[in-house]
Chains A and B, each alone.
Chain A
Amino acid sequence: EPEVTQTPSHQVTQMGQEVILRCVPISNHLYFYWYRQILGQKVEFLVSFYNNEISEKSEIFDDQFSVERPDGSNFTLKIRSTKLEDSAMYFCASSEALRETQYFGPGTRLLVL
């Protein structure tokens, strides 16, 4: 069964460093998303992406964040200058169509020291 994959599974970085989180969505899906979950809190939406453009973004997704689909398979989230409060589990998701089931990857646990 096709699944969303994410790398790395864990990343530790120093405050102020740039990180890139990588995702490979399900191959025939057209809509891509990033969410995050701070430990013990709700899963929060960050951004959605369709047709090589950001479709929607939350207040969390400020200028420190960017997304890219550099080729036909990868979808990346970049945090330019990490802060302590960026420590969270970051989930990538994809869906075949708008407002349909979103399939999530296993997550990248980011720890900012």
Chain B
Amino acid sequence: SQQGEEDPQALSIQEGENATMNCSYKTSINNLQWYRQNSGRGLVHLILIRSNEREKHSGRLRVTLDTSKKSSSLLITASRAADTASYFCATVDRAGYSTLTFGKGTMLLVSP
């Protein structure tokens, strides 16, 4: 089984539009984290949402979590060309230690 599968695999939008990426997972989680990766570089932490939370905001980012559906979404509002990157969700299992299990990611392209 695959944990943390993002959807869509690729997303292409214009600057100013909103981008929504979804993540599904299979196990019970302690928390879910979203990361950004610019073209083969390091992973930048965006936001952490715990299993007892339903929504979190950070600047132009909005993350929701639905534990009954085992899914999360990341919304980037008013996107910019600089938001072009791959976005990954990663889960920490409830029964696990602290290991992050990553999905394959969504590649976002924001055109000027």
Residues of A near any B CB (own CB < 8 A): 31, 33, 35, 41-45, 48, 55-56, 58, 89, 91, 93, 95, 98-107, 109
The answer to whether B45 touches A101, judged by C-beta atoms less than 8 angstroms apart, is yes
The answer to whether B102 touches A42, judged by C-beta atoms less than 8 angstroms apart, is yes
B101 at the interface (CB under 8 A from A): yes
Residues of B near any A CB (own CB < 8 A): 30-31, 33, 35, 40-45, 48, 88, 90, 92, 96-105
Given A42-B104, A101-B33, A101-B48, the answer on whether A106 and B98 have CB atoms closer than 8 Å is: no
Alpha-carbon distance A95/B30, docked complex (angstroms): 15
| Residue on B nearest A58 in the bound complex, by CB | B99
Partner of A104 from the list B42, B97, B105 (CB cut-off 8 Å) is B42
